[in-house]
Amino acid sequence: MIRPYLAFDFGGTKNACALFLQEDAHAFHLDALEKRASPPQPDAAYDYATMLELARNVLRGREPIAIGVSFGGPVRAQEGVVVLSHHVAGWENVSLRAKLENEFHARVVVDNDANVAALGETKFGAGAASRISKDRQIEIGAREDATQGKNCSSVLYVTVSTGVGGGWILNGEIYRGANELAGEIGHVVIDPNGPPCVCGRRGCVEQLACGPAIARHARERLINNPARGKILRELIQNDFSQVTALRVNQAALAGDALAREVMDAAARALGFALGNVICLMNPQRIIIGGGVSNAGEHYFEMVRAAARENVMPQLRNAVDIVPAALGDDAPLWGALALVV
Ligand SMILES: [Zn+2]
């Protein structure tokens, strides 16, 4: 019997567990998947107990050959130790690898979720040369030209949701940096006089491009321009607390000019920062995930245009910025990639 691979995604607001079976040397099949949303005040003990339950459900008595773990927070990957979670109490300095090895008697690799999602998208998603499985048909199409039948070797994965984070894949492997902080694209400053950031500085790309920033900018514009934003006002029923990035984008797609300006400004801020990255690192591809990456083709065109304007002329054709292909499941596929 083929022994399965187990993948965990400790997501902070939800936990997910998947079981993968190997079909041939390069192909894997997602055999079972269980997700559970966390209660309002989860703690580490709850997360861990939930994961064991989900694992039992997907394993159904089978023993995993190896376990990959994506953790939503800083991790000392070499030691398999979670530093902390920004969302869930009790994860301070937990040796998650040792706990899981004791539990399952299998090899365990733990890494930070942005790194893991970057690896998942590179090996099985928008940076991959081939389709991943029968269940998840990924349309590669025109992208095959750029990859020439191979996975991308250098990728920056950027997640744009409640914050902006990122992870690097260089020469096919996770690049962590000297202090395991590589890829923090969210805190690249693009406007020194911009809004204050959680990191203590001003004008970080996160404060201009993430979901809550989009909602905040739209709210400010609605308040300052009482005659504008008709479609957005209808969507939120004139309740400013109901403004979200999703609704701003819906209004923009429906033709609301105010909402369109807000979305375009966010896209341009992100694209400007990515132009800096392209100048510095010349990656083969930049993959954008997270909720905001579902904003549509116009959003991506704005991101690419801003990046192109902010690179040297020789690099304009090297601007390859695409949406993620694996959605919420990127950390699970990445967790698989950690151990195969
Ligand atoms: Zn910052």
Residues 119 and 175 in one domain: no
Which domain CATH number covers 211?
3.30.420.40
Residues 199 and 265 in one domain: yes
Q: Pairing between strand 164-170 and 75-76?
A: unpaired
Measured in Å, residue 133 CA sits from the centre of ligand 1 at 38
Residues 112 and 177 in one domain: no
Residues 127 and 166 in one domain: no
Measured in Å, residue 213 CA sits from the centre of ligand 1 at 13
Per the DSSP assignment, residues forming a β-bridge with 37 are 14
Q: Say what the pLDDT of residue 43 is.
A: 95
Residues 101 and 26 in one domain: yes
Q: Quickly list H helices, 60-112.
A: 96-104
The dihedral formed by the CA atoms of 58, 61, 62 and 64, expressed in degrees to the nearest 10: 70
Measured in Å, residue 250 CA sits from the centre of ligand 1 at 27
Measured in Å, residue 196 CA sits from the centre of ligand 1 at 8
Averaged over successive runs of 10 residues, the pLDDT of the chain (340 residues) comes to 92 94 85 94 95 97 97 94 93 98 98 96 90 44 54 95 94 93 94 94 97 97 97 97 97 98 98 97 96 94 98 95 93 96
Residues 211 and 72 in one domain: no
Q: Say what the pLDDT of residue 139 is.
A: 41
Measured in Å, residue 188 CA sits from the centre of ligand 1 at 7
Is 134 in a helix, a strand, or coil? coil
Q: Say what the pLDDT of residue 148 is.
A: 62
Residue 17 phi/psi, 5-degree rounding, is -140, 135
Q: Pairing between strand 285-289 and 155-160?
A: parallel
Q: Say what the pLDDT of residue 24 is.
A: 80
**Cβ pair 257, 306 in contact under 8 A:** no
How many domains, the chain?
2
User: Domain containing 295: what range?
Assistant: 142-324
Task: For 133-150, write each residue's pLDDT tens digit.
Answer: 444 444 443 344 455 678
